Structure 1
């Protein structure tokens, strides 16, 4: 099991202020209470590796950006998202919805997670079109669903591994297995279940991934969207570069993400400081903390 250092608990007033900011970002829909119903388990076990790494909002942001870059390298996924979502008009709201979906999938009570995923699948049934290259796509195409689920797992895993603490081979293997139940509910029935299967999928996608102006527009949006509090906003550019930096070299070459998108040693150290602190920061509004309460566990369960 992954063990975290002692939790960071901020002084009273500062704790409330930071907690309010975190809640606005992570739980824009206040109707979702991860602390109820009492004792209902999640899709993923509380003693899982996933519960440990998904509690870190900074590494999740980095991993999420990396995942989207991989997804947008596939033209059918790219245009399916870009043509049928509010990302360009309201990127923060879109990011909040996506982040909340991830929180519900990992920490939410099983019944709530299953209901949410079923709703996503129904909405995706209506999403279809043609890429700018003239290729037809459907959002619920199992091949595309496999790619989206695989890239999400890759992003979250690699961001934690690179910037928080190294994951062992056993922990990586566990993350693949833990992701399978939710992936199948989404319709990703062929999602990789091991590192070997993920490597094979990446190899099969080599000729599919292409550069696009959409990718660079997405990166520009991620730099300027009001994700972090205003005083910390300059750090967003570092987190965006950190996301590019964990992509495989051949992917960066295919997507034309050159050396200017790489972190230098000082920047990498700063990102690691941010993600490490985030891994220890315990706030009452965090879905991970609320979910522990639902299961009768102490707030500090995932931090000790």
Structure 2
């Protein structure tokens, strides 16, 4: 037994509780131990990507990307509770991802149906008078493509084991199963299709005051202890560096290629490596 093992267990437990919530241990046991067929086989790309500590950076980057759709951002700002209950939202999201990725097919289907019920109730009008509905397949597709593109970018840069090109295509195809169950009509099934769909959305994307406020909240005023801010800053700076250049420009986030290469990215590798060590 290493002298660092108690520290590792303590750090891993604290991090898991933050991400998974008080019901995390019970949910983890149910997700991984319940008998029955799964949507995705062991060692499939989706399981490898969603289990890696690179998801901490990918998730932050995905939120910044998603904020650039004015209608989707208006719905999030009005209904998601990300400001009033940020940890609760993170815990619900992480449980959904774990259930659909690793849980039984029955549990994954039920998780999607519960989320569909929530989406059906979310309707409103943006400040510009545009009606929105969270169950709109078009908005759901933007949330999906921004998310999986960010997850995959993060994994390829910070993951313990990069995916091959063929595995990247399989990852996109596997995530499409979840997207279809959530109401996306024709989710992309390859990297080329994913890139094409993001390009198709470009004409709809722009930075709104709500998007800027979300970026400030995520990057400058996150609900974490002051002592944890330097570590969080390492993750946040890499979430920015992970964005396509056009997205960071739209969000008015400064970038320096040399600093990213020689300082930001190495710190991101160290941070994700530390999380990987703590989580075992």
Sort the TM-score into its range (normalised by shorter chain): 0.7 to 0.9
2:14 equivalent in structure 1: 21
Question: Structure 1 residues 56 and 153 mapped into 2: Cα distance closer, same or farther (>3 Å)?
Answer: same
The normalised TM-score by structure 1 is 0.81
| Mapped partners of 2:260, 2:209: distance in 1 | 22
Deviations 1:253-284 (A, max 9, x none): 2333332797362221011122234445554x
Name the CA distance, whole Å, in 2 between partners of 1:276 and 1:174: 25
Matches of 2:90 and 2:212, distance apart in 1: 17
Aligned to 2:140: 145
Give distance in 1, aligned partners of 2:233 and 2:43: 34
Structure 1's unaligned 5+ residue stretches are: 1-8, 284-304
Distance 1:109 1:273 in 2: 34
Q: Which of 140, 158, 166 is the aligned partner of 1:163?
A: 158
TM-score by length of 2: 0.87
Q: Does 1:102 align with 2:97?
A: yes
CA contact (8 A) 1:163 1:275 kept: yes
Aligned to 1:54, the other structure's residue is in SS state helix
The equivalent of 1:275 in structure 2 is 272
Secondary structure in 2 aligned to 1:137? strand
Where does residue 222 of structure 2 map in the other structure?
225
Task: Tell me which residue corresponds to 2:249.
Answer: 253
Equivalents in 1 of 2:276, 2:213: separation in Å? 30
Deviation at 1:176, TM superposition (A): 1.0
d(CA) in 1 for partners of 2:45 and 2:227?
32
* Distance change in 2, residues 1:168/1:50 (3 Å): same
2:55–2:154 contact (8 Å) kept in structure 1: yes
Determine if the alignment matches structure 1 residue 73 to structure 2 residue 68: yes
Residue 134 and residue 235 in structure 1: after superposition, are their counterparts in 2 closer, same or farther (change >3 A)? same
Question: Match for residue 287 of structure 1?
Answer: none
Q: Spell out, residue by residue over 1:62-105, the C-alpha distance to the aligned partner (whole angstroms, 9 max, x if none).
A: 11121122211111110111101211112122122112211212
Q: Find out whether 1:129 has 2:129 as its counterpart.
A: no
Taking the aligned partners of 2:95 and 2:260, their CA distance within structure 1 comes to 28
**RMSD after superposition:** 2.3
Structure-2 separation of matches of 1:240 and 1:214: 19
Question: What does residue 236 of structure 1 align with?
Answer: 232
Q: Which moved more, 1:138-147 or 1:15-24?
A: 15-24
Matches within 5 A, 1:280-299: 282-283=279-280
Cα distance change of structure 1 residues 180 and 128 upon mapping to structure 2, 3 Å threshold: same
What count of residue pairs does the alignment treat as equivalent?
272
The corresponding residue for 2:58 is: 63
Q: 1:53 aligns with which of 49, 53, 57?
A: 49
